[in-house]
Structure 1
Amino acid sequence: MNLKEIVEEYRHPFWGDKYPGIEQKYLRISSIEGEGSYFYDKETDAVYEVEWKDMDDFMAGKLQPLFTSFYDFLEWYYSEENESK
């Protein structure tokens, strides 16, 4: 997902009908392929990996973040170790 797609997602969120205002707290930073996405929490800097079946729990604050900072997420995402998986 590129920056243009992230901005478009903010303007017209995929989950906007079911979760009004989702874009105010979260940015979806990956595609919806595979029935899940990464979400960036704009208030806490955390990144979540959320499967579609877990969206209700995510929105209710019941999921733990995959990373507590966006920097840690980027470091993991672009690491050589991650590329070999």
Structure 2
Amino acid sequence: MIPEKLSALVEKQAGNVHRSNIDSVNQALMKLDVPVESEFAEFFLTYTITLFLSDVSDEELCDIAEPSEQIKDGTEFVHEVWGLPENYICFTTVEGEGCYLYDKITGKVWDFELKTRDSFLRGEISAKWGGFYKFMIWYLGG
């Protein structure tokens, strides 16, 4: 269940944040092989990323299904170009040689920088957030 604190922060964002096309999200989750019972899936099945503003990060969040498959495209990029393992989902733009990564196995979130790629691949860098909801609360200033 999405924490009330997170829901309140999302409701303050610009535009219509409520998801209307659940089918497109289910298809995107299937393509990414993300479990539908995960925090990541529940969030995107409930909300659409509009232009969410953050006081703590310059990274722009992408939506999973609208207006395009930005998360799938970014994820393919980090797998094919940066050589990151298949369990990581990129849900932000990759500008500036960094992004936020969601681990679809553990549910944790990393603040990834390309310059530390080798350390990351060796497992020397820990996740910054223990779950997707914790990340989103931080990102939205909660």
- Give TM-score scaled by structure 1 length: 0.75
Question: Partners of 1:6 and 1:18 in 2: how far apart?
Answer: 15
Counterpart among 79, 83, 108 of residue 46 in structure 1:
108
The count of aligned residue pairs is 77
Superposed CA RMSD: 1.9
Distance 2:79 2:115 in 1: 13
Q: Unaligned 5+ residue runs, structure 2? A: 1-61
Asked if 1:31 corresponds to 2:93, the answer is: yes
TM-score by length of 2: 0.48
Question: Where does structure 1 lack aligned partners over 5 or more consecutive residues?
Answer: 81-85
2:77 equivalent in structure 1: 13
SS in 1 for 2:117: helix
Which letter does structure 2 place at the counterpart of 1:9? G
Task: State the partner residue of 2:122.
Answer: 60
List 4+ stretches of structure 1 deviating above 4 A.
Answer: none
**Separation of aligned partners in 1, 2:115 and 2:131:** 24
Instruction: State how far apart, in whole Å, the 2-side matches of 1:56 and 1:9 are.
Output: 20
Q: Which has the higher contact order (CA 8 A, sep 6+)?
A: 2
Find the counterpart in structure 1 of residue 63 from structure 2: 2
